[in-house]
Amino acid sequence: MTDNTFTGMDELYRDFILDHYRNPRNAGTLDNPDATFEDLNPLCGDKIRMDLKIDDGVVTDVKFKGRGCAISQASASLLTEQIKGKSLAEINKLGKEDVLANVGINISAARLKCALLGLKVLKSALALKYVEEPDL
Amino acid sequence: MSAIVKPQTQGLTQADVARIRANFPILAERPHGKQLVFLDSAASSQKPVQVIEAMDDYYRRYHANIHRGVYHISELATEAYEEARASIARFIGTPCAAECIYVRNATEGLNLVAYSWGRSNLKRGDAILLTEMEHHSNLVPWQVLAQQTGAQLRFVPVADDGRLDLHDLDNLLDGVRLFAFTAVSNTLGTINPVRDLAARARAAGAVSVVDACQAVPRMPVDVTEWGADFIAFSGHKMLGPTGIGILWGRKALLDAMPPFLTGGGMIGVVELTKSTYADVPARFEAGTPAIAEAVGLAAAVRYLEAVGMERIHQYELSLAGYALERLAQVPAVKLYGPPMSDRTGVISMTVGDIHAHDLASILDSEGVCVRAGHHCNQPLMEKLGVPATARASFYLYNTPDEVDALVSAIEKAKRIFKIA
């Protein structure tokens, strides 16, 4: 049954988003991560933890674990793919626009927090790491 | 596809509901170009024009501070504020208007009891009994009270069917000074046996506190019949404005309680270093109160009385029954909560592996408003083993057609998520 009343929602929940939601990449945790952080969106209960291995200023491995809506989980999964092998300098430049570009659609204000939760966790993990080891 | 048989609704006829709907201007809104299907009244109900106009009329014709001015419009405002209290008192079955204290909402009412009654009556080693199905507003104030007094918290468990497991209640009540419980679960819709719980609390020597947020809007409530000691509810869930609610308490208990907030309006004689306090209810209403909101809440009460609470209750039950019946036939829909015999028109559900937020977003694109998340009920959600549910709740202005709209929006969500 074709349904064009749902065009907007079809665009939001495209196949690759559903795929990342149901089969998250880099899922799990790392032993002895160099940086780690967990955060949640208390309004909806979306939760993400991210573990990073950092070698010489480059993210060599990343895993994430979480629960929540398709938007939060898929955008975290996409983000982990994006940052593996990237330098901290490059990662620091990542912002809201990059996450939205990954998800591929402009998201309503109500759901923006879901999409940005992964990035927030990533930045918090690095900020914590940076405080502990200012020479990085 | 078999033809859908529309239910014979109880309580209100289709013509009644059509007349009611015409009183709610917001129902003509078209979000995303779709007819608004508002199924989130358990969070906050919509307002009839009678309430909006009563508040508008107050601001246009007789706004002034109350209990202060001797001029005409101040007298009018004072009269309206106190008449509103009397109307609300009658509505919940108490002849004593002074037992109804205006608060901002049920949350403030429960905090008032925790702060004022709790701090002067509880000590280390005393026990507070709650249930596992409490809204955060009837949980966190008691946690804080327990931390500050050294009292211990106990919980009546929730059984798998969404009802309270009362088999051990007598043991749980042993040594309890205060038993706080909800009349109706905001997540599962479970109707608790308030009268029985209050009686058993009393027999055990405990004060009972009822969160009546989900009960007062949707069923006849008579505080005398309930026999509890304190009852709190919010105006905005019962057709009234935000920013006003009621704490009802037994006069003898209220009379013995120290103030909660202090300042103007709640005093007797003020000296530089000490003051005496006004009698109940003024003692608990420091500062200029929500006058327009009191006027609005009284208008809401008149509206509900004119329709009839028993009819509203019956109608809501028949709508919820129809919704449960239809939803049970949709593959991948999982419903939570007790059978219809023990519930109101609040339905929590999950659909396949669609997260409640995604489901609510897709329903919203069809104009259907439901609540998604933990419903301020995190411990209960943990117990159910789901991170979040979507909750549809029904009220006097909803229709069987809106149940159908909910079901077809859920079917669309399933198509988008490719769930059979």
Residues 6+ apart with CB under 8 A from B17: B9, B315, B396, B397, B398, B399
* Chain B residues close to A5, C-beta within 8 Å: 366, 412
Q: Return residue ranges of chain B for CATH 3.90.1150.10.
A: 14-45+308-416
What pLDDT, on the 0 to 100 scale, is given for residue B379? Answer: 84
Distance CA B411, CA B1 (A): 14
What pLDDT, on the 0 to 100 scale, is given for residue A44? Answer: 67
Give A112→chain B minimum CA distance, Å.
12
Active site residue B376: yes
Q: How large is the average pLDDT for residues A35-61? A: 90
Higher pLDDT, A99 or B296: B296
Measuring CA to CA, how many Å separate A41 from each of A68, A118, B198, B329, B340?
Answer: 9, 11, 37, 33, 33
Please determine, for residue A1, whether its predicted confidence score (pLDDT) is greater than 50: no
Q: Return residue ranges of chain B for CATH 3.40.640.10.
A: 52-306
* Chain A residues close to B35, C-beta within 8 Å: none
Both structure tokens of B52: 């909006």
Q: Do A9 and B361 lie within an 8 Å CB cutoff? A: yes
Interface test with B, best of A7, A10, A13 (most B CBs within 10 A): A13
Q: Among partner residues A43, A67, A71, which is closest to B387 by beta-carbon distance?
A: A67
A5-46: pLDDT as tens digits: 345 788 889 999 999 999 999 999 999 999 999 998 876 678
Pick the CATH number of B52-306 from 3.40.640.10, 2.60.120.680, 3.40.1440.10, 3.50.50.60: 3.40.640.10
Q: Do A111 and B356 lie within an 8 Å CB cutoff? A: no
Measuring CA to CA, how many Å separate B373 from each of B49, B135, B321, B358, B410?
Answer: 30, 13, 23, 10, 16
Please determine, for residue A119, whether its predicted confidence score (pLDDT) is greater than 80: yes
CB atoms within 10 A of CB B272: 5
What pLDDT, on the 0 to 100 scale, is given for residue A46? Answer: 83
Interface residues from chain B to A (CB-CB < 8 Å): 32, 353-358, 361-362, 365-366, 372-374, 378, 381, 387-388, 412, 415-418
B353-396: pLDDT as tens digits: 999 999 999 999 999 999 998 877 888 888 877 668 999 999 99
What pLDDT, on the 0 to 100 scale, is given for residue B2? Answer: 52
Give B306→chain A minimum CA distance, Å.
37
What pLDDT, on the 0 to 100 scale, is given for residue B339? Answer: 85
B135-181: pLDDT as tens digits: 999 999 999 999 999 999 999 999 988 899 999 999 999 999 999 99
- Enter the CATH code of domain B14-45+308-416: 3.90.1150.10
Q: Among partner residues A8, A10, A68, which is closest to B387 by beta-carbon distance?
A: A68
**What DSSP element (H or E) covers B82?**
helix B72-91
Give the single-character DSSP code of B174. T
H helix intervals, B150-240: 169-173, 194-203, 223-226
What pLDDT, on the 0 to 100 scale, is given for residue B194? Answer: 98
Enumerate residue ranges in chain B where pLDDT < 50. 1
What pLDDT, on the 0 to 100 scale, is given for residue B397? Answer: 98
- The separation between CA B197 and the C-alpha centre of its own chain, rounded to angstroms, equals 18
Q: Is 0.90 exceeded by the ipTM? A: no
Give B352→chain A minimum CA distance, Å.
12
Distance CA B347, CA B162 (A): 12
Q: Which domains does chain A have, with CATH numbers?
A: 4-129 (3.90.1010.10)
Pairing of strands B245-249, B100-103: antiparallel
- The separation between CA B405 and the C-alpha centre of its own chain, rounded to angstroms, equals 25
